Amino acid sequence: MRLAKLMAQRGLASRRKAEEMIAAGEVTVNGEVAVVTTPVDPASDVVTIKGQALPDEPDRVYYLLNKPRGYITGRVDTRDRQTVLDLVQHLTVRVEPVGRLDYDTEGALLFTNDGDLAFGLTHPSRGVEKVYVARVEGRPMAEDIVAIERGIPLPDGPTAPSKARIISRGERSSVIEITVKEGRNRMIRRMMAYLGHHVMDLRRQTFAGISLGQLRLGRTRALTPDEVAGLQMLAEKPGPKSRTRSKPKLKAGSKPKPGSKTKPKTKAKPKPRPKPKSKPKPKPRPKPKPKPKRKPKA
């Protein structure tokens, strides 16, 4: 097992943070300073972090937070802003946010100490759906919905086809729902800006099938067993299968490359044309019978 994965399982840090701790020389395995690629066996190896023994594996916990605006998704901020971890200090187990949510965006944000689940849900190959509700300036039209569904060209590449629908239209602003499977930075805001509609308010209503429901802003709730089971299925879902390339077809008469097992197609021999049937000879016309000579009258 990879050392960073073990540390994440024990609730010490996310995988990325654990790798940073290992690279900084804060972790030892059997008395030797570890590196990121050091394999570890939890049953036999002795792991210490900053001189402290690796804690026992805690029970897995899963929570949903309705994140308010004005909080960053992280533990430390160089600008001394509030973090989402300030909102989960009442939890008795160390948890990490699953993915990120912009500073100015509110809504659904999952927390867990299950590193494998968090890794699976945020991996691009899983295509986890995220539903956003945005209040935008102006009145988006049908052609804007079509553009979102086809993909918006952004500087870092076009967006994948998404779902969209207009919830309401007003004189100065409208409300639109957008469902995406990507997790780019400020993606919804940039998509709407391209279409000429500034985002005034943005809320993530649903993440990986877990919806806010009646959860109040800034509050948390534990996920139900059914919700956790659904997340585990999404996290373990394999990525899209790679397409197998079909063998190139050889043109008639061309030779295959050396080592190729493809047999060239040979031209089919033309079938011999059937000989035309001879026309039957016409039957000779019968000769007309001579007319009897008339006897002269006496």
Active site residues: 102
C-alpha 253: how far from its chain's center?
44
Q: What is the DSSP string of 51-109?
A: TEEPPPPPPP-EEEEEEPTT-BSSS--TT---BGGGGSTT-SS--EESS---TT-EEEE
Distance CA 87, CA 77 (A): 15
Burial of 204 (0-12, 13-18, 19+ CB in 10 A): buried
Closest CA to 119 of 102, 100, 98, 101: 98
**Phi/psi-derived region of residue 25, left when phi > 0, alpha when psi is between -120 and 50, beta in every other case:** left
Residue 110 has φ and ψ, to the nearest 5°, of -85, 150
